[in-house]
Amino acid sequence: MEKSLETIVAWAKRRGFAYPGSDIYGGLANAWDLGPYGTEIKRNIEHVWWTYFVQQRDDIIGLDSQILMNPKVWEASGHVAWFSDPLIDCKKCKSRERADKLIEDTITSKNMTLESIQAVVAVTTITPEAWDFEQQTTFLTGFKVKCPKCGSCDWAEPKKFNLMFKTQQGVIEGQGTDIYLRPETAQGIFVNFRNILDTTRSRIPFGIAQIGKAFRNEITPGNFMFRVREFYQMEIEYFVENDTEKGLESFEAWKNASKKRWKEEIGIKEENMRFRDHDQDELSFYSKGTCDVEYLFPRGWGELQGIAYRTDYDLKQHMEHSGKDLQYNDPYTGKRYIPHCIEPSRGLTRAILTALIDAYDEEKYTDGNGAEQTRIVARFHKNIAPVKFAVIPLVKKDEKIVGFAEDLYRKLSKQYMCEFDDSGNVGKCYRRQDEIGTPYCITVDYQTLEDGTVTIRDRDTMEQKRIKPEEIIL
């Protein structure tokens, strides 16, 4: 089924998954608040991730570091110098675009190959993010790329635009210190590496996991929650010996684990995912490998997760800039070294968007009167469905039926997120629950009062069967 982003946005707003930020004031560009059901999905994705990686693994521990950090952190990490996008201005209508994204869109829409690009620009990779300004300018002029707003081909030279949000610390305007809202959660992990070594029994190889907000002053946001300025990340820094062979082994293991986790945790369909290894010349100078986990969004492939083998770059940088010893002392061999690090870094906000898109379905079926109907059904994996059970008394005027249903609802709510719906129209209740992706609806009726059984309806098959309340499991 073709799913347009417009359909997904309309459904998400209508059913309370996401609302435009600051809505009553006309919104704020590209800001989205999670509604009640979106909030549940977020909590569920976090929960399964944390349970698997932190709770069930002996070698990964959690952390919750600050959004505001000492500005020296961002000098050490390279963000002050390098964390920027190449921007170009249209000389005619003055609109501002990200050069690499505009080029990427042109390559995709014209189905260009590396060979066809090389006829005009001397590049060795088809990924424009890895090109320099001169190569980007040559492409834009050589292929006469038009401004998406006014159609002109008259572009100014690309400029660097740092993506970090700057703010001030201090109470007097103009006299405070410039600080940044973190553009990634990872650096909070590196700066706590020493603390973790000193206060826990962690031994290499081990990882540190963190979930939190990150901020980027993106110039071409859009695509609903795909590219926003404020978003959540779920990151792990996994430290291994300073040995490239062992590092590459761990990098491969993380790639394989990630493939499995997207499917098993969130139920993302395999055919909608791909794994893209970066070419050698796309890699940062310190990196020994990077792999993007991509999803087929309605507007094309986009990154969900980046898995990067960052060697000892980050710890080394922080050791130099802070003057603190961030080496690891191996208790078994007595060796002292700066560990290498693998970073499987996921976007949680993008994972929520992906879960919404992947789950959305429209299905034709024949109703009890033989008429053809269409239903919208969100086929969320049970792990992440915002509501697990809806309890529906079929006869709302019968106190005994309603009482039984209420008791059952209270009991199930101790363990699961549930809804109680006594509006009286069971067909409407089913449609609503299908649209928010509730795996099971449970109805209570006269037969319940006679034999204690309830009817359970499966969201995906619409099959109904009678069971005892004790048999209800997710």
In order of 372, 427, 445, 466, the CA distances from 368 in angstroms are 10, 11, 19, 18
In angstroms, what is the minimal distance from the CB of 465 to ligand ATP? 40
Residues 174-213 interacting with ligand ATP (rule: CB under 6 A):
184
Site track for ligand ATP across 99-138, x = CB under 6 A: ----------------------------------------
Q: Per the structure block, which two tokens stand in for 201?
A: 């029994």
Among 46, 252, 303, 398, binds ligand ATP (CB under 6 A): 303
Residue with Cβ nearer ligand ATP (78 or 306): 306
Is 278 a binding residue for ligand ATP by CB under 6 A? The answer is: no
Residue nearest to ligand ATP (CB): 347
Enumerate the β-bridge partners of residue 60.
207
In order of 53, 260, 470, the CA distances from 265 in angstroms are 11, 8, 26
DSSP string, 353-404: HHHHHHHEEEEEEE-TTS-EEEEEEE---TTT-S-SEEEEES-TT-HHHHHH
Is 42 a binding residue for ligand ATP by CB under 6 A? The answer is: no
User: Near ligand ATP by CB under 6 A, which window of 10-18, 135-143, 226-234, 417-425?
Assistant: 226-234
Q: 119's torsion region: left (phi>0), alpha (psi -120 to 50) or beta?
A: alpha
Pairing of strands 300-311, 289-297: antiparallel
Radius of gyration of the chain (CA): 26
Spell 256-286 as b/e; 16+ CB within 10 A means b.
eebeebbeebbbbeeeebeeeebeeebbeee
Residue with Cβ nearer ligand ATP (218 or 363): 218
User: Near ligand ATP by CB under 6 A, which window of 52-60, 105-113, 302-310, 448-456?
Assistant: 302-310
Residue with Cβ nearer ligand ATP (161 or 416): 161
CA proximity to 282, closest of 100, 448, 38, 151: 100
Spatial neighbors of 362 by CB under 8 A, at least 6 apart, are 1, 374, 375, 376, 377
In angstroms, what is the minimal distance from the CB of 167 to ligand ATP? 18
Residue with Cβ nearer ligand ATP (317 or 345): 345
Q: Please answer whether residues 405 and 391 qualify as being in contact, where contact means their C-beta atoms are separated by less than 8 angstroms.
A: yes
Among 228, 319, 341, 378, binds ligand ATP (CB under 6 A): 228
Residue with Cβ nearer ligand ATP (136 or 448): 136
371 phi/psi in degrees, rounded to 5: -90, 145
Site track for ligand ATP across 307-346, x = CB under 6 A: --------------------------------------x-
Among 202, 305, 311, 433, binds ligand ATP (CB under 6 A): 305
266 phi/psi in degrees, rounded to 5: -115, -10
Residue with Cβ nearer ligand ATP (278 or 318): 278
- Which residue type occupies 366? T
In angstroms, what is the minimal distance from the CB of 230 to ligand ATP? 8
Spatial neighbors of 71 by CB under 8 A, at least 6 apart, are 80, 177, 178, 179, 180
Give, for 250, the enclosing helix (H) or strand (E). helix 244-266
In angstroms, what is the minimal distance from the CB of 98 to ligand ATP? 9
Is 227 a binding residue for ligand ATP by CB under 6 A? The answer is: yes
Site track for ligand ATP across 340-369, x = CB under 6 A: -----x-x-xx-------------------
What is the rounded CA–CA span in Å between residue 116 and residue 106? 13
In angstroms, what is the minimal distance from the CB of 295 to ligand ATP? 9
Residue with Cβ nearer ligand ATP (233 or 433): 233
Among 231, 238, 295, 440, binds ligand ATP (CB under 6 A): 231
What is the rounded CA–CA span in Å between residue 32 and residue 297? 18
Among 84, 306, 316, 411, binds ligand ATP (CB under 6 A): 306
Residue with Cβ nearer ligand ATP (339 or 347): 347
Is 255 a binding residue for ligand ATP by CB under 6 A? The answer is: no
Tell me the torsion sign for CA atoms 41, 361, 271, 228. negative
Among 136, 185, 202, 233, binds ligand ATP (CB under 6 A): 233
In angstroms, what is the minimal distance from the CB of 304 to ligand ATP? 5
Residue with Cβ nearer ligand ATP (76 or 472): 76
Helix and strand counts by DSSP (H, E) for the chain:
15, 23
Q: Per the structure block, which two tokens stand in for 155?
A: 């572009």
Residues 376-405 interacting with ligand ATP (rule: CB under 6 A):
none
Question: Cα(first)–Cα(last) distance of the chain, in Å?
Answer: 28
Among 46, 218, 252, 363, binds ligand ATP (CB under 6 A): 218
Q: Please answer whether residues 344 and 246 qualify as being in contact, where contact means their C-beta atoms are separated by less than 8 angstroms.
A: no
Residue with Cβ nearer ligand ATP (135 or 290): 290
**How many residues of this chain interact with ligand ATP, rule: CB under 6 A?**
15
| Chain residues in the site for ligand ATP (CB under 6 A) | 184, 216, 218, 227-228, 231, 233, 303-306, 345, 347, 349-350
